[in-house]
Structure 1
């Protein structure tokens, strides 16, 4: 029975399936390396060399008729499979130039070579090849499909994947007016309604340099997906900067203090591993929301159950704070009574996290700038993000600039609005309102509230509050417009973590806002 004239990765995989063997078993049976078998799955149209062709011929010839018949049936299913597009040499050369021009991508390639066990230069060639094949219009179409997957669908599918509440941890949900909503944020009653001031006496995360490498060896499938992410990042012009990133190792939040331990990682490590979970899930939902939870191989590997989510010491857990920002405004004949202006952003398509979704502002990754210990405070990141995202300090945006200042937040360097706030610490109220772990990507989320009670700030600097490149738009809401805020809560364009921070922030603002607020009553539950 002559079934194959020339073996490809696809037909080799069909033989493996007919023999009902795992990658390990098939590699052992043929006497070849596991990476070779994995490579056939990654590149089904690649033709093995002549010696491997003979090995596969021999393996098939030695099997019984039942396996040969199954193999023949599987070949019928693969006969019409699309061929892998040829690489345009000019396009590949252009891709190589783009790879060489971006030092942060270069760092990512070195990381990938090391962690995938590849010889130096392999990642560069792999990413260049994938970049040359990419069709930007297809990526833009995919971005459009992803944008149509709403917050509720994400929360529902993750609910099916992880199941109902076990123990004290469950998904954050809330009731307001006559409606309800739920998120993908895993939390517990002890982590909510903290109202913990974010100043040094209470903001006590400690930093260490001793955290171990969580991705000492990427398997071939994970390495391929990492290379694809880098190629797509270049093709779409997404900003990817290889800066240090705090990773959570231990956490114990309370109303009195935010205690815990953080180590450091690299942003690129997060971008090509845990951050891929979001795209995998949203693509599955856009294909078929009813079965999306059944086929998520990356999630099965990196974040398979709630125990792995809460075990932050033994996985890469990045994240950061995000805050509902409320600024007191005086009464106005045009606007009405005194209130707080609440700021909400629509995220840009050029960010890696929560692209094209609604979020509170500021929202940032928890990262050290120059002082590993002091910058570990959640409040340090929030103050920096306010400077960057709302007060226009481009030079502290580490996605566009190298940080050379010894103290970028020194009073002599900060913006005029921030300097005014820092002159009297009572002018800037910052609190952590809740903590959770986002099932979407495993991130830690410090929901926070920032309040400026002095009306003078808005009169002086209201016209200088402006979102940076991370936002596609900035919207304001009045704390006295309860009906409009209820509609805002119901908007399905929210990111899950953004909705979590909004709800917790509104609950706290209702307690402290006095006559300036008329907010919907919000009651949380853990499901």
Structure 2
């Protein structure tokens, strides 16, 4: 027994449900890695390679009759066309309701609009557009935004000719702020969310985003995310307030600005109608009280390695990811790892700490957890980061608070989409970690590749800094992390000097 049209991530996950196995048990049953199973949940449209297709065929054929009947019933319930999702997917329904409300439309108008657009979406055209976007460099993006906003002061630059789109301040740099409760003090507020009304152009672009989401079988989860309302940041302390909004608010508004900008650069155009509406000037960027300011945290990770007769003296390994085309933020760009939206899990007050997001993202992006946040399904665990639920590498790190050093190195507002960016540094000084767990580190579905660099190779680090594939926030976090690591690393580092300046 096999699937005539081949397996997808969705049907593989359905087989897992029919077998009633956890991710770990299903991976063991198939003889594959847990990350592969997690990827099927994250990317339901993914088509495994031929060898994996055969493994899944065999697993289904060897399953008992009860499992096969259950699988057939589940496939009938879960396999859905874009039109089915338009009607049945509660996350899409939530987005459509939000769009109707904020565009001043009669209920059901956005559903009909998206359905009409869906008929004209060509996935091949979207793929070609993605390739064109990939040719636009980080420097082009930073330069275009500087020109749009009148070459403002406060844009982060490095003395080696690197410029970014990160708007920052001297008090927000070189923070040396430990990410522990006494220093990491963002507070949750219950202030009312700023109102928003969409004109015809903005509503049309939002509907187009939903149509393409359906056509490509991209999963959109309307999860809660933090929005920044105020900041009080200086060396050694992160302060300010955050509220809570929904992901669809961001996905259908400010998240569209990056694509609009990159498409304009690829086409040689200077038209930015959505930017003109949402972030027309610096005042609108900096006025957090009247706009949606979503964002997150990202960190340069440095792991101590012992001396090696082939590699050389003891060093730190630095991890850099190339983001996949399936992520919302910085798709196909270089970024440090971990990187993630700042969002609550179950404790909205405690999870407002930046360190909470970085620990969660470390579990997901480096150690294979797929059930930490709620981007796959409902959050049903009272404490997703309880020690009993941690991966083995993370449990080892958390068992002694001296094993993982986490600092915030800088903060800024990214002109690309108006996001807030908390740059960090995560350092593991104990060589035992690499000896025990180095072979278990593997990027999850959000990355298409994972690269490693030695802190004793300044030439390669310099080439990395100059790579035009960076996202602006990724480059910001890299540079700030390298500055701090140069101070902390001792004989393990031989890093180039990096001096920042504000344009």
Q: TM-score, normalised by structure 1?
A: 0.79
Instruction: State the 1:238 CA deviation.
Output: 3.0
In structure 2, C-alpha distance between the alignment counterparts of 1:231 and 1:145, rounded to whole Å: 20
Instruction: State the 1:267 CA deviation.
Output: 0.5
Q: What secondary structure sits across from 1:431 in the alignment?
A: strand
Structure 2 residue 161 is the aligned partner of structure 1 residue 174: no
Instruction: Identify the residue that residue 239 of structure 1 maps to in structure 2.
Output: 219
Instruction: Identify the residue that residue 353 of structure 2 maps to in structure 1.
Output: 377
Instruction: Identify the residue that residue 398 of structure 1 maps to in structure 2.
Output: 374
Gaps of 5+ in 1: 1-92
In structure 1, C-alpha distance between the alignment counterparts of 2:202 and 2:402, rounded to whole Å: 49
> For 1:18-59, what per-residue CA distance to the aligned partner results, in whole angstroms no more than 9, with x for missing partners?
xxxxxxxxxxxxxxxxxxxxxxxxxxxxxxxxxxxxxxxxxx
Instruction: State the 1:200 CA deviation.
Output: 0.4
Q: Contact 1:238–1:351 (CA<8 Å) still a contact in 2?
A: no
| 257, 277, 293: which one aligns with 1:301 | 277
In structure 2, C-alpha distance between the alignment counterparts of 1:524 and 1:213, rounded to whole Å: 34
* Residue-pair matches, total: 424
In structure 2, C-alpha distance between the alignment counterparts of 1:231 and 1:387, rounded to whole Å: 32
In structure 2, C-alpha distance between the alignment counterparts of 1:454 and 1:482, rounded to whole Å: 22
Q: Contact 1:238–1:352 (CA<8 Å) still a contact in 2?
A: no
Instruction: Identify the residue that residue 144 of structure 1 maps to in structure 2.
Output: 131
Structure 2 residue 207 is the aligned partner of structure 1 residue 223: no
| 192, 207, 211: which one aligns with 1:211 | 192
> For 1:84-133, what per-residue CA distance to the aligned partner results, in whole angstroms no more than 9, with x for missing partners?
xxxxxxxxx95422312422111111111111121221111111110111
Q: Which is greater in Rg?
A: 1
Which segments of structure 1 move beyond 4 Å, counting only runs of 4 or more? none
Instruction: State the 1:314 CA deviation.
Output: 1.1
Q: What secondary structure sits across from 2:319 in the alignment?
A: strand
Q: What secondary structure sits across from 2:364 in the alignment?
A: helix
Instruction: Identify the residue that residue 70 of structure 1 maps to in structure 2.
Output: none
> For 1:462-504, what per-residue CA distance to the aligned partner results, in whole angstroms no more than 9, with x for missing partners?
1111111100111100011110010000000000000000000
* More displaced stretch, 332-341 vs 112-121: 112-121
In structure 2, C-alpha distance between the alignment counterparts of 1:418 and 1:270, rounded to whole Å: 31
* More displaced stretch, 202-211 vs 488-497: 202-211
| 138, 148, 164: which one aligns with 1:183 | 164
| 101, 120, 123: which one aligns with 1:133 | 120
* More displaced stretch, 492-501 vs 136-145: 136-145
Q: Contact 1:95–1:128 (CA<8 Å) still a contact in 2?
A: no
In structure 1, C-alpha distance between the alignment counterparts of 2:123 and 2:397, rounded to whole Å: 45
Q: Contact 1:359–1:495 (CA<8 Å) still a contact in 2?
A: yes
* More displaced stretch, 238-247 vs 276-285: 238-247
Structure 2 residue 178 is the aligned partner of structure 1 residue 197: yes
Q: TM-score, normalised by structure 2?
A: 0.83
> For 1:111-169, what per-residue CA distance to the aligned partner results, in whole angstroms no more than 9, with x for missing partners?
11111121221111111110111111111111111111110000011111011234xxx
Q: What secondary structure sits across from 1:477 in the alignment?
A: strand
Q: Contact 1:364–1:381 (CA<8 Å) still a contact in 2?
A: yes
Q: Map 1:84-123; keep pairs closer than 5 Å.
A: 95-123=82-110
| 249, 263, 284: which one aligns with 2:264 | 284
In structure 2, C-alpha distance between the alignment counterparts of 1:512 and 1:396, rounded to whole Å: 31
Q: Map 1:313-328; keep pairs closer than 5 Å.
A: 313-328=289-304
> For 1:160-186, what per-residue CA distance to the aligned partner results, in whole angstroms no more than 9, with x for missing partners?
1011234xxx110002xxx31100001
Instruction: Identify the residue that residue 315 of structure 2 maps to in structure 1.
Output: 339
Q: Map 1:333-372; keep pairs closer than 5 Å.
A: 333-372=309-348
> For 1:194-247, what per-residue CA distance to the aligned partner results, in whole angstroms no more than 9, with x for missing partners?
0100010100000023232432x2112211111011111122233321000100
Instruction: Identify the residue that residue 52 of structure 2 maps to in structure 1.
Output: none
Q: What secondary structure sits across from 2:304 in the alignment?
A: strand
Instruction: Identify the residue that residue 145 of structure 2 maps to in structure 1.
Output: 158
Gaps of 5+ in 2: 1-79
Give me the CA root mean square deviation: 1.2
Q: Contact 1:318–1:443 (CA<8 Å) still a contact in 2?
A: yes
In structure 2, C-alpha distance between the alignment counterparts of 1:229 and 1:446, rounded to whole Å: 27
In structure 2, C-alpha distance between the alignment counterparts of 1:510 and 1:234, rounded to whole Å: 46
Q: Contact 2:228–2:242 (CA<8 Å) still a contact in 1?
A: yes
Instruction: State the 1:397 CA deviation.
Output: 4.2
In structure 1, C-alpha distance between the alignment counterparts of 2:170 and 2:372, rounded to whole Å: 36
Q: Contact 2:171–2:235 (CA<8 Å) still a contact in 1?
A: no
